[in-house]
Structure 1
Amino acid sequence: MAEPLPDADDTVLARVAWGRIAEPCDLQAGALVAHLGHRGALGWLRSTRAEPPPGLWPAPVWERARARWAPRVEGLDPAREVAGIRRLGGRVIVPGDEEWPAALDDLDVLAPHCLWVRGDPGILRRPAVAIVGARASTGYGEHVAGELSASLADSGLTVVSGGAFGIDAVAHRAALAVGGATVAVMAGGLDRFYPAGNADLLARVARDGAVVAELGPGSSPSRSRFLTRNRLIAALAGACVVVEAGWRSGTLSTAMHAARLLRPVAAVPGPVTSAASAGCHRLIRDGVAVLVSDAGQVRELMASAGEDLADEPSDDAVRRPSDTPPGLDSSHAQVWEALPARGAATLESVARVGGLAAREVRIALGALELAGHVRREGDRYRRTAT
């Protein structure tokens, strides 16, 4: 037998209950809890004699809303759901918790009632960029997405995406490959990662980053839930980058959510003959997105919008070969030039930028460190003053 609905003094369980009762982006539910609070809204729903909240909508609107929510009240057990996510090593966070991402407050009455998290919820408060795109991605799109994600993650930004096949998966993998932070936002519950083909990847994201959802365990993803999920991706990030998208791609909804939230939107151009880039070209043509071709341009876009970014640049354009110390042989000079002019980089990042094998880079970095040209800081390397 299900436990009773949350008592009036249990706000967390009341929020969990509303996350189950109402679908994401239910405007009446958002307005009701904004007016009465989550506990008060539950009291209103349980009362058969409660008057409609004044000044919002006429009575028939609330009658339809009550009829929509009532079937989900029977058997509701928010405490059981919280216990379920804990068994998975996750937790629920709500506004007021230290880890709650304040950026979600920009969604106003369409903000999630709570967030379910597997991984480190503290990541959700760090500067982030959304990298999204087509599931049916091309080799070109995957290459660009990987380069952008790795460079942005290596510079300290969290990469947010949707965990899907194609561009999303590439963005997550590239961020993980350079030891960066990444967040996957799910359209269903966290008891079963979707798509199943990305389960191993999402488990890595949960281990080294965070997988989040606004729906509780047992919730299945659906087309409408994917579309409403996209507003969370847009809100969590300081900017949204679309790498590939068809003319009617669902990815475009993430870009439009970001634009409505006044987040900078960027799109990567592709061949004019490529259907996979038609949506990107549409965003640029309609003035929704600006054209970007590298990570440095993304960071510039975020900085121009007032995002507080780390000092370390990620664009290769800031690397200054003219500063190379004299007397280095060609391989050591190549590694030196692959290091950022400011900030530190991992061995993997240096190898990727320099186009060298990891073994060559490791030997060269050791020699440069002995010569006093490079300083090691944990698993990262930094130029010393020349």
Structure 2
Amino acid sequence: MKASTERAAGRGRGPEDAERLARAALTRVLEPGDERAGQWLRAAGPVGLLRILGSEDGSAAETLPGMTAARREGHLLRAAAADPVRDLAEVAAAGGRFVCPGDLEWPSQLDDLGDARPVGLWVRGAADLRLWSLRSVAVVGARACTAYGAHMAASMGAGLAERGWVVVSGAAFGVDGAAHRGALAAGGATTAVLACGVDVVYPRGHAELIGRVAQQGLVVTELPPSSHPTRSRFVLRNRVIAALTRGTVVVEAEYRSGSLVTARRAQNLGRHVMGVPGPATSGLSAGVHELLRGEGVLVTDASEVVELVGDIGELAPVRRGPVLPRDQLGATAARVLESLPYHGLARPRDLARSAGTSSDEALALLYELHSLGFVEREGDGWRLTVTPPRNGDARRGGT
């Protein structure tokens, strides 16, 4: 038993074997996110709580606040079937480990969940979960996303990875998968948080993707080996994604979407909440737009995400439109040019009056505008050129 436990133990010093075994067993007894059970765990400790829940004598269990006969029977059946030594050995054989509070690898930001904090985490992958989580961003969104959503998620994942950030998502179809693939394609880091055991492939169509994530990144779950996903586990899994990261980016989501659950969790935890806008006519963007009308921040690429969640100095490039040739003219030269009629000729004296300058300065600026390709001379008059200069053709002229 001890050898199996040591192989699957978290890195560095951590809880003693008895507590680690108890926590591993409790991941099979308790459902993720059960705050009432979290209160019991805080009061009795993992070893004490497992002893109470697995005891045939119901008197101790009856002292737990909120315990009912039905809950006690369910916990008793699960506790009887729990075999933490086997589970630890199975995850170790799959190249994984069990990380729990007290381990050096435990991400302390998960403690923000309070009594809803995971009992422990089953992890596959070589990287250090705590270190990776310190610089991570969640990218989540619709399963049935559009081509636009998949493109934005992939480019977001790749851009974040290129900037040294870990991309966290749920390995689902659609936006999740695209975000993971973007990070992997950039040779970067990504973490998949599952709603099933680390040895269970779900969705089955993502078997190759989850395998690549386990090799290049991390696969994380609260559930013990062989556990299968349920609807409630998907929803509760989202709180881990929200707490594990510095911020959550939502790419395409309807009004009723698990991605918005993740965003609300992140907001309640004081994390950054961001959304990628889409067409106003798309139902898949409706939830994101509702988020942006509230506390969400609009982002369009990885640099804008990093500017929000990163350190001082990690700024997105300044956005501006193209510089037109007229933008490079001096103020007086621009006024002279604007005074020219669209059709016909104008004399320097008339242009000087309209531009508010002298005749001599107006004439000098007309010759300068001529050299830049803005105007043409015809006798004593001046007209606009038929083909104005292209971008970059004109140098700054006049005053």
Q: Same fold (TM over 0.5)?
A: yes
Secondary structure (helix, strand or coil) at the match of 1:86 reads helix
Of 135, 147, 151, 1:143 maps to 151
Q: How does 1:187-336 map to 2 (within 5 A)?
A: 187-285=195-293, 287-303=294-310, 308=311, 315=316, 317=318
Q: Hey, what does 2:353 align to over in structure 1?
A: none
Letter in 1 for 2:249: V
Provide the C-alpha distance between the structure 2 equivalents of 1:191 and 1:158, rounded to a whole number of angstroms: 22
Q: Hey, what does 2:161 align to over in structure 1?
A: 153
Provide the C-alpha distance between the structure 2 equivalents of 1:68 and 1:169, rounded to a whole number of angstroms: 35
Q: Hey, what does 1:118 align to over in structure 2?
A: 124
Q: Hey, what does 1:180 align to over in structure 2?
A: 188
- 1:292 Cα shift? 1.4
Provide the C-alpha distance between the structure 1 equivalents of 2:65 and 2:21, rounded to a whole number of angstroms: 27
- 1:136 Cα shift? 0.7
Is the 1:9–1:39 contact (alpha carbons within 8 Å) kept by the matching residues of 2?
A: no
Q: How does 1:2-151 map to 2 (within 5 A)?
A: 10-47=18-55, 48=57, 50-51=59-60, 57=65, 61-126=67-132, 127-151=135-159
Q: Which runs of 5+ in 1 are unaligned?
A: 1-7, 319-386
- 1:298 Cα shift? 1.2
Provide the C-alpha distance between the structure 2 equivalents of 1:317 and 1:176, rounded to a whole number of angstroms: 28
Secondary structure (helix, strand or coil) at the match of 2:81 reads coil
Letter in 2 for 1:228: L
Secondary structure (helix, strand or coil) at the match of 1:184 reads strand
Normalising by structure 2, what TM-score? 0.72
Provide the C-alpha distance between the structure 2 equivalents of 1:196 and 1:124, rounded to a whole number of angstroms: 28
Letter in 1 for 2:106: W
Is the 2:199–2:225 contact (alpha carbons within 8 Å) kept by the matching residues of 1?
A: yes
- 1:260 Cα shift? 1.2
- 1:210 Cα shift? 0.3
Provide the C-alpha distance between the structure 2 equivalents of 1:203 and 1:46, rounded to a whole number of angstroms: 36
Q: Is the deviation greater in 123-132 or in 161-170?
A: 123-132
Q: Is the deviation greater in 179-188 or in 19-28?
A: 19-28
Is the 1:99–1:121 contact (alpha carbons within 8 Å) kept by the matching residues of 2?
A: no
Letter in 2 for 1:101: P
Letter in 1 for 2:171: G
Q: Hey, what does 1:168 align to over in structure 2?
A: 176
Secondary structure (helix, strand or coil) at the match of 2:42 reads helix
Provide the C-alpha distance between the structure 1 equivalents of 2:161 and 2:72, rounded to a whole number of angstroms: 45
Is the 2:137–2:166 contact (alpha carbons within 8 Å) kept by the matching residues of 1?
A: yes
Q: Is the deviation greater in 178-187 or in 71-80?
A: 71-80
Provide the C-alpha distance between the structure 1 equivalents of 2:213 and 2:220, rounded to a whole number of angstroms: 10
Letter in 2 for 1:138: T
Secondary structure (helix, strand or coil) at the match of 1:251 reads helix
Is the 1:155–1:312 contact (alpha carbons within 8 Å) kept by the matching residues of 2?
A: no
Q: Hey, what does 2:342 align to over in structure 1?
A: none
- 1:288 Cα shift? 3.2
Provide the C-alpha distance between the structure 2 equivalents of 1:16 and 1:191, rounded to a whole number of angstroms: 15
* Higher Rg: 2
Secondary structure (helix, strand or coil) at the match of 1:265 reads strand
Instruction: Name the CA shift for 1:121/1:68 in 2 (closer, same or farther; >3 Å).
Output: farther
- 1:124 Cα shift? 4.1
Letter in 1 for 2:244: L
Is the 2:106–2:129 contact (alpha carbons within 8 Å) kept by the matching residues of 1?
A: no
> How many residue pairs align between the two structures?
302
- 1:37 Cα shift? 0.5
- 1:64 Cα shift? 4.2
- 1:301 Cα shift? 1.8
Is the 2:238–2:262 contact (alpha carbons within 8 Å) kept by the matching residues of 1?
A: yes
